[in-house]
Structures are given as C-alpha cells and as structure tokens.
Chain A
Amino acid sequence: MSITLKALKKSPWVFHVNTGACNNCDIEILDCLTPRFDIERFGIVLVGSIRHADVLLISGPVTKNTLPRLIRLYEQAPKPIKVIVVGACGCSCGIFRDGYNIVGPVDKYLPVDAYVPGCPPKPEAIIAGVVKVLNTLG
C-alpha cells in the first residue's frame, strides 16, 4: 500500500450531502462529532467544500431535484473518493419508496462503497461504516 493511501486511512475528510433525507440521519451524523464519540480522534473531520473531500457521505433517497446535483458533486470531487450511504432511505429508499418524486436509491447512480442501514442508524454504526470503507483501501 502506498504511503498516501496509508495517510488517507488516517485522515479521511468527509463531505456530507443530504439528497432528500428527513434530517434525522443528518442529526445522527453530527452526533459523531460530539464529545461522546469525537471522531476527530481518528482524523475524521467534516469539510465544507467538495474539493477537500475524501469521503462522500450521503443520506436520504435520491429525489428528482437532487439527482443532477448529486452526480455533479461526485464528478467535482478529487479522486480517490469513497461513497458511504447512511440510513435506510439511501440504501433502499426506506419509507419514501413510493414517493412521487423519488428516483431510486443512491447505488442506482453512484458506485457505493458502504451501506449503513437503520432509520436512523446509531452513531456507532456510522463509525463502523467508515471503518469498513477505510479497510477497503487495503
């Protein structure tokens, strides 16, 4: 494994996108930053610009409006980029499955590296998802 990939495992910067989630998953994601879980211990920080991101964290089912933005975000991100889907909605559309504006789960459009199911998933589960993604790096 190259040294830059090793460093990537130690400092994954996360960019968080909400593609139509009910906002509960987003609150659980923010929980990871609180003193109780403190994921900055592992070098994980939330960044404000997609250009700084190593991990694209997506919550929610893809809606008609967010689909072009989601794909654009993925294209704008500097590679290598990993994609994590948080919540039952992102994995399978969840309770919004029959919604009139839903165009499908995230993996219909982007290559997803890890799914974190749950409605909403616990912060522990989100951290476990991130660890699994980092392990796919080798």
Chain B
Amino acid sequence: MDILRPILYYAIFPGFIFSAVVGLLTTWVDRKVTARVQWRVGPPWYQPFADTVKLIGKEVVIPANARRTGFLMMPVIGLAAATLASTILWIVNLDPSKSFVGDSLVVIYIMTIPAVSMIIGASASGNPLGILGASREMKLLFSYELPLIISVLTAIVKVGSFSFKNILAYQSEHGVIIWSISGIIAFIVAILCAQAKLTFVPFDIPEAETELAGGSHIEYSGVALAVVRLNMAIMFFVLPIFLITIFWGGISFDGWRILTSIVKYVVIVVIMVLIKNTNPRVRIDQAVRFFWGPMFILALAAIILAKLGL
C-alpha cells in the first residue's frame, strides 16, 4: 500500500486526473471571460472536455520531415512535468509536513520543463513556422525566468527558508506576503512572468495565431494536440496555485478556508485573463527588453525592500 500511495497521488489526486479536470475547467473560465469581455455568450462549461475527447478520435499526422520520436515524446514529457509540479504543490499545501528542503526551487525548475519540451517538440516538427515558434519560445524563456526567480526569492528572503512549509507557516503567523510593499511588487512581477510562461497575450509570441498560425504547436494533430493542450491547461492550473502558495497564504481544504482558497484562485485566473484580453501582442525584442529592464529592476527593488524588512 505504501508503494501504491505515491502512484495514486501522482495519477489521481492531486495528480493527473484532478489537475487535468480543474485545468480544463480553468481554460473554460478563460474562454468564457474572454467571450464576456467581447460581449459574446461564450462556450458551455463542457467545451474543453469535448475538445479533448474529439482530438483523441482524430488521426495523428506525422509530417514527412519530422523527427518522429522527439516530435511525439516531448508533449508527453511536458505533461508529466506539469503533473509533477501540480502534485508537489498540492501535497505540500494539504499537508505541510510532507514539504522537503528547497521544494520551492524544485517546483520552479519543473515548471520550466513544459516550455523546454515544447521547444524541442516544435524544432522536431520540421515546419519552418514551428521552428520559428520554438526559437521565440526559447528567447521568451530566457527573458522571463530571471525576474520570476528573483520575485520568488523575495518571498524566500522574507521568510528565510527555501521550503514551502516554512513559507506557509510564516504567512499564517505574520500575515500573507502580498500585503507588504516588497510582496506586492514581487507579486506583480511574478504574475506578468506567469503570463509569459503560459504564452498568453501580450506574450503569446511563440504561438501567434494570426502570424505563425499556431507556431510551436502548428504540426500537432489528434492525440498529440490533445496532450499539448492538456499540458497548457495543467500549467494554467499550476501557476496560480504556485503564486498563491508563495505570496498569498496557500490553499487549504478545511472548513471555510476552502471558500477563500477558491476565491483566491479565481481572482488570480481572472486577472490573468483580463490582462490577456486588454493588451495587444508585443514583439519578441520588446518582450525581452520588458523583462530584462523594468521587470528585473522591480524584482531587484522588491528583494532589497524585503531585506530591509518592508
């Protein structure tokens, strides 16, 4: 039974099945809010599930000049990594005693794997637009990782520990990190980096529907496309949870706190969707300049303020 438990954690709750279902529901919230912002009605709640099931029934086309293994393997690796990040975050939130030293850094590393796998998969697709998307994704990855890590470090400096357990304990004792000056600055930086990590507008440069016709996942079809989309859905689920854990006191399932947890989650998701709907796409050089300039400086300011105890 003890051997089975991690597998159950990973495969069902809070791992794959749970993250996939909630992630797909989150993409529905995204589409619905987008539709309401544009004064439309929007799709019904089961739309993302219908999309996924439909894609499973479609033919998988492998382009003649694609590298078969890399092309098909990479979405699966990305999905596994996203699921792992979600599992660690949830287990730590539900039972802080399961936390281990440096798990916040581990989660940050794991969360970059989906982007890296997308880069490799798109490069293996043999499509010029896909390769262009991969190269843009790579530049974007280099630009947002730095401010993201520094803004997370702000919380770590404040708490003085790398593990989620101490971060959560600190927040339940001293109040959440987001209500301090350094905390709110770091949170703003982190949410913009999360936007780029999810390749949402204004940072959807690697996908750019109207320009690269899907970019990094242009050649995926059928089940492979379903896996790519699930991967993005789970990341859309993991990143708000990560931000809540680091900056906003974490998620909890006991009593009334389940309601506040859901409210926190929905608030962050809706903020992201609103940023997505009110901004035009930027060019890749503008994105790199934005993250390495203003965002980097803001994150540094936050870390200095945190060191001063603000």
Instruction: State whether the Cβ of B38 lies closer than 8 Å to any Cβ in chain A.
Output: yes
Within the complex, the shortest CB–CB distance from B226 to chain A, in Å, comes to 11
In the complex the two chains form, what is the Cα distance from A3 to B56 in whole Å? 10
Within the complex, the shortest CB–CB distance from A80 to chain B, in Å, comes to 7
In the complex the two chains form, what is the Cα distance from A49 to B51 in whole Å? 16
Inter-chain contacts of B50 with A (CB < 8 A): 7, 10-11, 43
Selected from B41, B49, B214, the residue in CB contact (under 8 A) with A47 is B214
Inter-chain contacts of B220 with A (CB < 8 A): 51-52
**B interface footprint on A95-117 (CB within 8 Å = 1, 0 otherwise):** 00000000000000000000000
Asked whether A78 and B60 contact (CB < 8 A) given A49-B213, A49-B218, A52-B214, the answer is: yes
B contact residues, total (Cβ < 8 Å): 35
Selected from B46, B57, B60, B212, the residue in CB contact (under 8 A) with A4 is B57
Inter-chain contacts of A3 with B (CB < 8 A): 53, 57
A35 lies within 8 A of B39 (CB) = yes
Instruction: State whether the Cβ of B61 lies closer than 8 Å to any Cβ in chain A.
Output: yes
A40 lies within 8 A of B221 (CB) = no
Within the complex, the shortest CB–CB distance from A56 to chain B, in Å, comes to 14
Segment 90-126 of B: residues with Cβ below 8 Å from A:
none
Asked whether A35 and B219 contact (CB < 8 A) given A2-B57, A43-B51, the answer is: no
Asked whether A43 and B221 contact (CB < 8 A) given A3-B53, A51-B61, A78-B58, the answer is: no
Instruction: State whether the Cβ of A136 lies closer than 8 Å to any Cβ in chain B.
Output: no
Inter-chain contacts of B44 with A (CB < 8 A): 41, 43
Asked whether A11 and B47 contact (CB < 8 A) given A4-B54, A51-B61, A54-B54, the answer is: yes
Instruction: State whether the Cβ of A8 lies closer than 8 Å to any Cβ in chain B.
Output: yes
Instruction: State whether the Cβ of A73 lies closer than 8 Å to any Cβ in chain B.
Output: no
A40 lies within 8 A of B59 (CB) = no
Instruction: State whether the Cβ of B82 lies closer than 8 Å to any Cβ in chain A.
Output: no
Selected from A2, A8, A47, A78, the residue in CB contact (under 8 A) with B59 is A78
**27 interchain pairs (CB within 8 A)?**
A3-B53, A4-B57, A10-B46, A10-B47, A11-B50, A38-B35, A38-B40, A38-B41, A40-B35, A40-B41, A41-B40, A41-B43, A43-B44, A43-B47, A43-B51, A48-B209, A48-B212, A48-B214, A51-B61, A51-B218, A51-B220, A51-B221, A52-B214, A52-B221, A52-B225, A79-B59, A80-B59
> Contact residues of B with A, CB < 8 Å?
31, 35, 38-44, 46-47, 49-54, 56-61, 209-210, 212-214, 217-222, 225
> Contact residues of A with B, CB < 8 Å?
2-5, 7-8, 10-11, 35, 38, 40-43, 47-49, 51-52, 54, 76, 78-80
